[in-house]
Amino acid sequence: MTPKLVLVVIDGLKPAMVERAMNAGSAPALAAIRERGTYVDECCAAFPSVTPVCAATIATGQLQDEHQIPSMNWYSRAEQRYVEYGSSFSASRKVGLNRQLVDTIFNMNAVHLSPDVTTIFEALDDAGVRTAGTTYLMFRGRHPHEVSRDFALTRVASQLFKRSVMGPRELFYADIFASRKTGCWSRMGLPGLRDQHSGCVGAYLVEHDLFDFLLLSLPDNDAHSHKYGPHAQIDSIARADAELWRVMEAAGGHEAFLDEHAVIVVADHSHSPVERVIDFKRPYADWKLILPSGPRSRQGEIALCPAQRSAMIYSMVETRSSALPVLVATAREIEGVDLVMWWEGGELGTRAHIGGERGELSFWPGDDLADARGRRWTVEGELDTLRARAQDDMLVSEHYPDALARVWAALSCPTSGDVLLSAEPNYEFADWGGRAHVRGGSHGSLHRVDSLGALLFCGVDAPPERADGAWSIADIAPMVLGHLDAR
């Protein structure tokens, strides 16, 4: 009999911090999984390494050239408006709280996530597997769910959100969706209470044998790291671990739980300390900027989309190719911007460019050099742009893991901007509400400090091709589907 599978996503789980927590005895559940299975300290995120992009990659096994979720904040050319998934409360107010909630809760899954990709919930639902999920950005499945009316706030929400969503068989999203009464309450998904809600729901599902696959989301580590910095994660990792331990105890203890359940624990991305804010708007003061609200919310020459330690620029000028060199040159001069990425001549699918203070290179799928995951590229220009080198027919870059494939996917995404920016370590772009995480932590860049998260698993097989060690969050969905015979 195939063991049930629990996929645990701990948002922003930094390898150095989880190692310290396990070794100090603060994370006994994670340590038990490591003892029975495999620990990976370099599992590569998507780029931009922000939660919506990475959540979509974990849920589909695809990068954004396929799933089409481009960033935390982006500009919809089709609707002529900004899309904001909740960078901060201030940013949400700028675009409109109702609009932000509708985009995050409904449109992200039903509209923005490409209909041409299949989520793990959809694939498992199609295979007759009993699916379940706690609060996670990507939940698209085959089962309809109405807004819950169990709490006063959700009864108000049911008047605002008069639509159902498609999710796994058992869906628990904050208090907004609850496929059954569990006695668990998240206070509408407040940071600091989300892990507790997931642990409560997860324990209930185990006790009542309600799933074969559970996506257990533990997101509070990310909020804690944003506020206090990545080196303060040990406390939040311990709290996340306590909720996973709570789920294990519902099966009679961690040994009994691991006898009956395969487990994958994965970070969607890592975290970098933040010390300085990038001045993103002033360098483009001579351009007519599209604003997120007000009379200039639909007309302008450019849209600027900051997303933590990444950003995008959309050109609305009729001759986009003529505007591109100026936008790129300006971006390369901004203090705190590490790398700038764009298509040659602004044309999708020809060759991609990356520029920075160490030089410039261009690349496209070809035969010259292989990356760590076996894809081959033709590369021209300065390899030092990525602090890379050619070694035995391979492109090696410790500072920017899997850089070419991640940049190619980001530029190829039809909803991405024309110019992509990645911040230097310790720098961040303030969001549209003016918020940044100075003296805290953040993520989003192409650099390894944001991009390499932790991965632990037991009771489930690793893909044979990962014997080379070049792990990516795109490997998670195939592992889940292979384990449950749903590929």
Question: What's the domain count of the chain?
Answer: 2
Say how far apart CA 395 and CA 308 lie, in whole Å: 28
| CATH code of residue 186 | 3.40.720.10
3-state secondary structure 397-448: CCCCCCHHHHHHHHHHCCCCCCEEEEECCEEEECCCCCCCCCCCEECCCCCH
Strand partners, 391: 394
pLDDT at residue 320 tops 80: no
Q: Show the tokens assigned to 439.
A: 């003296």
Distances, alpha carbon 408 to alpha carbons 196, 352, 473, in Å: 38, 7, 16
Q: Is there a domain that residue 254 lies in?
A: yes
289 and 204 within one domain: no
Mean pLDDT to the nearest integer, 43-48: 98
pLDDT at site 350: 84
For the chain, the average pLDDT equals 93
149 and 255 inside one domain: yes
% of the chain beyond a pLDDT of 90: 86
Q: What is the pLDDT of residues 76-126, one digit of tens each?
A: 999 999 999 999 999 999 999 889 999 999 999 999 999 999 999 999 999
Residue 213 in contact with residue 480, Cβ under 8 Å? yes
Q: Hunting for tokens 């006898």 — which residue is that?
A: 259
Residue 54's pLDDT is 98
pLDDT reported for residue 191: 75
Beta-strand relationship, 73-76 and 38-44: unpaired
* 327 and 386 assigned to the same domain: yes
Is position 368 within any domain? Answer: yes
| Dihedral of alpha carbons 203, 206, 211, 215, sign | positive
In a domain, 93, yes or no: no
Question: What is the three-class DSSP state of 234?
Answer: helix
Do residues 160 and 39 both lie within one domain?
yes
The first and second tokens of residue 149, run together, are 């009316």
**Interatomic CA distance for residues 383 and 254, integer angstroms:** 48
Query: How far is 44 from 454, CA to CA, in rounded Å?
Result: 9
Please state, in angstroms and rounded to a whole number, the distance separating the CA atoms of residues 180 and 424: 46
47, 196: one domain: yes
pLDDT above 90 for 317: no
CA-CA distance, 380 to 402, in Å (whole number)?
Answer: 17
Per the rule left: phi > 0, alpha: psi between -120 and 50, beta: everything else, 17 is alpha
Write the DSSP assignment of 1-28 as a string of letters: -PPEEEEEEETT--HHHHHHHHHTTS-H
Q: Which residue has the tokens 């849209």?
A: 303
Is residue 317 included in any domain, yes or no? yes
Same domain, 259 and 302: no
Do 309 and 247 belong together in one domain? no
The string over 39-53, giving b where at least 16 C-beta atoms fall within 10 Å of a residue's C-beta and e elsewhere, is: bbebbbbbbbbbbbb
Q: Is residue 94 part of a domain?
A: no
**Mean pLDDT for the stretch of residues 323-351:** 89
Residue 287 and residue 250 share a domain: no
The per-residue pLDDT for 165 is 94
Give yes or no: residues 303 and 336 share one domain: yes
Q: Which helix (H) or strand (E) holds 475?
A: none
How confident is the model at residue 333, as a pLDDT? Answer: 96
Q: Is residue 90 part of a domain?
A: no
Question: Which residues fall within 8 angstroms of residue 221, CB to CB, at 6 or more apart?
Answer: 10, 11, 12, 13, 195, 233, 236, 237, 239, 240
For residue 156, being part of any structural domain is answered with yes
The pLDDT tens digits of the residues spanning 422-433 come to 999 999 999 999
Average pLDDT over residues 219-223: 96
Cα–Cα distances (Å) from 343 to 284, 350, 419, in that order, read: 20, 7, 8
pLDDT value of residue 151: 59
Q: Does 147 share its domain with 17?
A: yes
Instruction: For residues 385 and 338, give the distance between their C-alpha atoms in angstroms, rounded to a whole number.
Output: 10
- Render pLDDT for 114-170 as a digit per residue (tens, 0 to 9): 999 999 999 999 999 999 999 999 999 999 999 887 655 555 555 566 678 999 999
Residue 295's pLDDT band, with cuts at 50, 70 and 90, is confident
Low-confidence winner among 186-200, 283-297, 397-411, 428-442 (lowest mean pLDDT): 186-200
Give me the mean pLDDT over the 365-380 stretch.
Answer: 93
The alpha-carbon radius of gyration of the chain (Å, integer) is: 22
Residue 87 domain flag: no
Rounded CA separation 368/234 (Å): 43
> Does 225 share its domain with 289?
no
In total, the chain counts a number of residues equal to 487
Residue listed under structure tokens 């590369």? 379
Of 10, 5, 46, nearest in space to 27 by CA: 10
Mean pLDDT of 293-314: 91
Looking at the structure, tell me whether residues 378 and 478 fall in a common domain.
no
Full domain range(s) for residue 253: 4-69+113-271+447-483
| pLDDT computed for residue 148 by the predictor | 80
